[in-house]
Amino acid sequence: MYPDPQRLENIMSIRDAMRQISQEADAIVELLDARIEAEHLDGSTEAEDVREVLELIQSLTLEVSEDLDAYQEQHSGP
């Protein structure tokens, strides 16, 4: 068993948030690739889709940054 279950839970939460950020970025790239390949571009839709994902990533980044700060404070040495 891991010696500090709370530390493990905290870092796993940070890891999961980072994974979600990565997945959101991958999903929008795949969507854009499909639209480019299909030559189905109108400018406005792509901009809205990308902006929506960027806002989500920005929000997630802020959350994970705060979680990381708290993790570092809680688990750093004396």
The pLDDT tens digits of the residues spanning 23-51 come to 999 999 999 999 999 988 888 899 999 99
Residue 55 falls inside a structural domain: yes
Residue 63 falls inside a structural domain: yes
Segments forming the whole domain that contains residue 49: 28-78
- Two structure tokens written together for 41: 């571009």
Residue count of the chain: 78
Instruction: Please provide the average confidence, as pLDDT, over all residues in the chain.
Output: 90
Predicted confidence at residue 47, as pLDDT, reads 93
Residue 17 falls inside a structural domain: no
d(CA 62, CA 50): 18
Residue 71 falls inside a structural domain: yes
Give how far Cα 36 sits from Cα of 23, 41, 49, Å: 20, 7, 14
Q: What's at 17, amino acid-wise? A: A
Residue 14 falls inside a structural domain: no
d(CA 26, CA 32): 10
Please give the model's pTM, rounded to 2 decimal places: 0.81
Question: Is the pLDDT score of 7 beyond 90?
Answer: no
pLDDT band, very low/low/confident/very high, at 78 (cuts 50, 70, 90): low
Q: How many domains does the chain have?
A: 1
